[in-house]
């Protein structure tokens, strides 16, 4: 049975950060999480009666070891503390790799999020769509992890030019070089990975 309670609206940060994370580690599978405030969800306005939920933040977690390890558990503990201070919860995750479907580790990751947020979802990236400047995201719902939903009515993006603007941030401005994830933090404890403030500010200026 598929989820029917929410549609998911990606902020500019939530839209761009997974792509920047992948650009920062092009030879690795990268994973991260999405945060939202479910209590702030709008009223149902779609034909299916789903409530719009704003995905306000994305946090880059791993690039070196994308499996359910104590390292991932430690990262998620940090994320949950950070999110709790802002009245946010982890509602989904992303995985960018060579394939469109979630890896086995990705499905396990999503299943872990589902334990605390039943309506959780995952986004993967269709590289062919990315290269054409279209919306590259493919959605998987935790309620039906075997099904990929491309161009899903459950997902809305910041605008028609969001992909092109993100690619410009990568190719022109090299903003992906600013990004730090939890793996980077383990190598350098001064690496600020939960907010990536400089990168977040640049994204806000670039995507309107």
Distance between CA atoms of residues 155 and 149, nearest Å: 9
Closest CA to 86 of 20, 17, 38: 38
The single-letter DSSP state of residue 8 is E
Query: What confidence score (pLDDT) does residue 68 get?
Result: 60
Dihedral pair phi/psi, residue 167, rounded to 5°: -65, -35
Residue corresponding to tokens 């950060």: 17
- Domain boundary assignment for the chain: 6-206
Q: Provide the 10 A C-beta neighbour count for residue 9.
A: 19
Q: Which residues of 40-73 are buried (b: 16+ CB within 10 A; e: fewer)?
A: ebeeeeeeeebebbbbbbbbbbbbeebeeeebbe
Query: What confidence score (pLDDT) does residue 144 get?
Result: 78
**What superfamily in CATH does domain 6-206 come from?**
Cytidine Deaminase, domain 2 (3.40.140.10)
Stated pTM of the model: 0.92
CA dihedral of 61, 165, 167, 185, whole degrees rounded to 10: -20
- Beta carbons of 17 and 32 less than 8 angstroms apart: yes
pLDDT averaged over 10-residue windows placed end to end, the chain, 208 residues: 73 97 95 93 67 95 79 93 96 94 91 91 92 90 77 82 95 96 94 96 89
Query: What confidence score (pLDDT) does residue 66 get?
Result: 63
Closest CA to 7 of 153, 159, 162, 158: 153
């Amino acid at each position: 049975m598929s989820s029917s309670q929410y549609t998911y609206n990606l902020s500019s940060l939530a839209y761009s950060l997974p792509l920047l994370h992948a650009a920062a580690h092009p030879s690795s599978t990268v994973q991260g999480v999405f945060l939202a405030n479910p209590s702030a969800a709008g009223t149902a306005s779609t034909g299916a009666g789903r409530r719009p939920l704003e995905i306000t933040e994305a946090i880059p977690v791993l690039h070196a070891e994308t499996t359910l390890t104590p390292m991932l558990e430690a990262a998620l503990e940090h994320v949950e503390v950070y999110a709790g201070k802002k009245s946010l919860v982890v509602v989904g995750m992303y995985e960018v790799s060579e394939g469109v479907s979630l890896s086995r580790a990705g499905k396990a990751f999503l299943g872990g999020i589902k334990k605390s947020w039943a309506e959780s979802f995952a986004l993967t990236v269709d590289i062919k769509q990315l290269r054409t400047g279209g919306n590259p995201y493919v959605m998987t719902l935790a309620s039906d992890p075997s099904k990929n939903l491309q161009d899903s009515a459950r997902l809305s993006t910041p605008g028609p030019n969001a992909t092109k603007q993100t690619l410009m941030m990568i190719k022109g401005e090299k903003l992906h070089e600013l990004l730090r994830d939890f793996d980077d933090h383990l190598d350098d404890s001064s690496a600020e990975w939960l907010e990536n403030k400089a990168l977040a500010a640049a994204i806000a200026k670039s995507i309107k």
